[in-house]
């Protein structure tokens, strides 16, 4: 079932409405596979907001924090521009649909650990092998959940084949 929705997301001719519907349904399926208690949901702005509603359905009482992290298009380095975190629960779910280089995710994990987070789960629709390796190299204790793992990144550090810019396709 997840593959069906992933195929819709990867299709560049998919309309914004169909993209959002597929992303929401895929998010619900992903949330159902996560078995933790008392989670804090932390979407990475802006694309991570697309996964927030499906995860709120699974974790309706979860506190929600936000990390705004923007990747510099020239250097591909992440920059934190916004942080608003509640008191953290035992389990933290970082929501970020695309794990490319691992830079934004590593920065998010660093920030959360600096606030005392111990059990962090990274939720992505698509991850690259490079991104997974970057996370595991710096944070061996992180659990990564992804629907698909794509092999490479292009010269601009975007996942190949990927699905384009998730945030742009979801939000416009």
pTM (predicted TM-score): 0.94
In tens digits, what is the pLDDT along the chain, a chain of 172 residues?
Answer: 899 999 999 999 999 999 999 999 999 999 999 999 899 999 999 999 999 999 999 999 999 999 999 988 888 789 999 999 999 989 999 999 999 999 999 999 999 999 999 999 999 999 999 999 999 999 999 999 999 999 899 988 889 888 888 999 999 8
State the SS3 of the chain. CHHHHHHHHHCCCCCHHHHHHHHHHHHHHHHHCCCCCCEEEEEEECCCHHHHHHHHHHCCCCCECEEEEEECCCCCCEEEEEEECCCCCCEEEEECCEECCCHHHHHHHHHHHHCCCCEEEEEEEEEEHHHHHHHHHHCCCCEEEEEEEECEECCCCCEECCCCCHHHHHHC
Q: Where are the domains of the chain?
A: 2-171
Residue with tokens 């078995």: 35
Sequence-distant (6+) residues with CB within 8 A of 58 are 28, 31, 32, 34
C-alpha–C-alpha distance, residues 48 and 104, integer Å: 11
Q: Specify the CATH number for 2-171; select among 3.40.640.10, 3.40.50.300, 3.40.50.2020, 3.30.360.10.
A: 3.40.50.2020
């Amino acid at each position: 079932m997840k593959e069906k929705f992933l195929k819709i997301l990867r299709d560049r001719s998919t309309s914004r409405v169909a993209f959002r519907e597929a992303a929401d349904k895929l998010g619900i399926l992903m949330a159902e596979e996560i078995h933790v208690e008392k989670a804090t949901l932390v979407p990475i702005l802006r694309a991570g907001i697309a996964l927030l509603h499906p995860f709120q359905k699974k974790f309706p009482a979860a506190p929600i924090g936000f990390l705004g992290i923007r990747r510099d298009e020239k250097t591909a380095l992440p920059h934190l521009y916004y942080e608003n975190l509640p008191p953290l629960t035992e389990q933290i779910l970082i929501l970020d649909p695309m794990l490319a280089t691992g830079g934004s995710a590593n920065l998010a994990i660093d920030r959360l650990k600096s606030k005392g987070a111990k059990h962090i789960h990274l939720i992505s629709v698509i991850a690259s092998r490079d991104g997974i390796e970057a996370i595991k190299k710096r944070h061996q204790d992180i659990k990564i959940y992804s629907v698909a793992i794509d092999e490479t990144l292009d010269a601009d550090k975007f996942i190949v084949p990927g699905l384009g810019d998730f945030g742009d396709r979801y939000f416009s």
